Structure 1
Amino acid sequence: MNRRTFIKRSFGSLITLVGLSGGTYFYARDIEPNLLKITEEPIHYPNIPAAFHNFKIIQFSDTHIGFHYDLDQFKELAIKINQLQPDLILFSGDLVDKPNQFYWDDRIVEILRSMNAEHGKYWIYGNHDHGGYGTEIVKDIMEAGEFILLQNESVPISKDGSYFTLAGIDDVMLGKPDLNTALQNQQENDFTILLSHEPDFADITKNYPVQVQLSGHSHGGQVRFPFIGDLYTPPYAEKYVQGKYELHQNFTLYVNSGIGTTRLPYRFLCKPELHMYELKAKR
């Protein structure tokens, strides 16, 4: 940890201790975690096929069910997603907080299955999905919920005789990500979206023929302060924390702030977030 980061975290921790033990504690614990933010982002690239103009993609991430986020809240999220009428639904990892301690039943499957998108539902592993011996458990649950796993692989998303490529890699921290394998079926000039749980993987992705990377993992920092920003983010979410980053003219990273919380049950100046992307073809 460098000196600047140490000072930032030390000062931020002091403010958190003082601030969250006072009047903001109730807000950060009980109010803001329930204030869902819907971030709308148009995506413009010249190789988006005309058939996908105004194609709507919903991304949600990091629900961490079981840690101050329950199945009733998850059901409300599913209802909200359906109200947005997505063409495609993407989940970028970390379904439950501790897979080996979670009580798995049919209800979580029913909620996942209730989400509707004409062109499918896809997901990737996050570090909590692999952690706690959850790899196969989470895979079975997501499959029963009619979500398709992209683990170092890609699929064509087709419409009216055209398609774009959707790819996903394994979790960077606890899996075996392989972007070359994920893109092996990609054709020249394909418009390509990559799902990567960890946003800092973008420094590798930017060197590949991928136009958009969608990530989570950071929780947006979860607790943020003016002039300081985020106080702490996990490994591989230290450089790119929240929002949109244009790494070069042909590559954009979007980092979702997630739905649930982890480690600490607080959100402050960092609301839970759904991303709604609309593809915009050149016309």
Structure 2
Amino acid sequence: MNRRSFLKKAAGSLLALVGLSGGTYYYAREIEPTLLEINNEIITSNKISPAFNNFKIVQFSDTHIGFHYTNEQFKELVTKINKQNPDIVVFTGDLVDEPHQFDWNYDLVESLRSLKANHGKFWIYGNHDHGGYGTEIIQSVMDQSGFTLLKNNHTTIELDSERIVLAGIDDVMLGQPDIEAALDNVNPDLFTILLAHEPDIADTAVNFSVDVQLSGHSHGGQVRFPFVGHLYTPAYAEKYVQGKYELGGEKLTLYVNRGIGTTRLPYRFLCKPEIYSFTLESGKQM
């Protein structure tokens, strides 16, 4: 959808909110965007070794700092993530809204650096990270913050000589994603998590040895109405919008994160911001 079509739909949703009541509009703009939900999920698989029982992965996505979301708010988010005591933290793209207009300073690096994870912090590019000539800037900020970029490659997390695989691809819209390269030489017997900003790429990922895909990008639609659902989602988030999906006869589980911030228009309605806290559980008999 081009910008004109988006704004036309967005204007329609704005009028709908205003039409409900001024109070509803105020809630959607000022209240709901601050109502963070922490969604706890248990991921069970026979491919997960007992060594990884209770291993915790926290995912956050789509902060869009600079557009109705400040670094002060991000600092509060960091505190909430740290309280989850994650073993790894993963960020699935769109750090700031417009990299070429953002007031880059050390505060953001300091906030990102203060995120704590026992076994590492990892990230992938989103479309806004590549947009506005932000590609190199974002990578520099994340490098300084102790995050490892997964761009068409993978890493292994090891505990007691047992391993899981964490892979990531470049952004689908503005990058050069390559799932095959990301999974090159990965042992298919190892439990594998794929980070991909755009959720609809799951229809391709299901053909590979991927057990779980973590995505963002959709914002859950930002605005949802009872019996109607979301009014709009961007390209590559039109099929899978929010929550959990099973693909390929449960071969692949996809989780679509509604994200933290907003973009284009600064409100959420019946679509609260969220982070995911995943706890791994071995399906093997002890």
TM-score (norm 2): 0.94
Cα drift, residue 11 of structure 1: 11
Deviation per CA, 1:51-77: give whole Å up to 9, x if none.
Answer: 101110000000000000000000000
CA distance in 1, matches of 2:10, 2:32: 24
CA distance in 2, matches of 1:69, 1:61: 13
RMSD: 1.6
Name the stretch that deviates more: 41-50 or 88-97.
41-50
CA distance in 2, matches of 1:182, 1:66: 31
CA distance in 2, matches of 1:164, 1:74: 29
Unpaired segments ≥5 residues, structure 2: 2-8
Aligned to 1:237: 237
Cα drift, residue 82 of structure 1: 0.5
CA distance in 2, matches of 1:214, 1:12: 31
TM alignment of 1:129-148, pairs within 5 A? 129-148=129-148
User: Which AA in structure 1 matches 2:23?
Assistant: G
Percentage of pairs with the same residue: 63
CA distance in 2, matches of 1:144, 1:10: 36
Aligned to 1:4: none
Cα drift, residue 242 of structure 1: 0.3
CA distance in 2, matches of 1:169, 1:236: 14
SS in 1 for 2:16: helix
Aligned to 2:186: 186
SS in 2 for 1:33: helix
How many residues are paired up? 276
User: Which AA in structure 1 matches 2:22?
Assistant: G
Moved over 3 A (4+): 9-14
Aligned to 1:56: 56
User: Which AA in structure 2 matches 1:135?
Assistant: T
Unpaired segments ≥5 residues, structure 1: 2-8
CA distance in 1, matches of 2:254, 2:17: 29
CA distance in 2, matches of 1:194, 1:149: 13
Tell me if the contact between 1:12 and 1:228 (Cα under 8 Å) persists in the aligned partners: no
Aligned to 2:5: none
Cα drift, residue 23 of structure 1: 2.0
CA distance in 2, matches of 1:96, 1:126: 10
SS in 1 for 2:204: helix
Tell me if the contact between 2:168 and 2:194 (Cα under 8 Å) persists in the aligned partners: yes
Deviation per CA, 1:207-259: give whole Å up to 9, x if none.
Answer: 11100000000001100000000000000000000000011222100000000
CA distance in 1, matches of 2:109, 2:85: 20
CA distance in 1, matches of 2:161, 2:128: 38
Name the stretch that deviates more: 126-135 or 179-188.
179-188
Cα drift, residue 146 of structure 1: 0.3
Q: 1:10 to 1:33 in 2, by over 3 A?
A: closer
Q: 1:130 to 1:10 in 2, by over 3 A?
A: closer
Q: 1:132 to 1:226 in 2, by over 3 A?
A: same
TM-score (norm 1): 0.95
CA distance in 1, matches of 2:228, 2:12: 7
- 2:261 is the counterpart of 1:260: yes
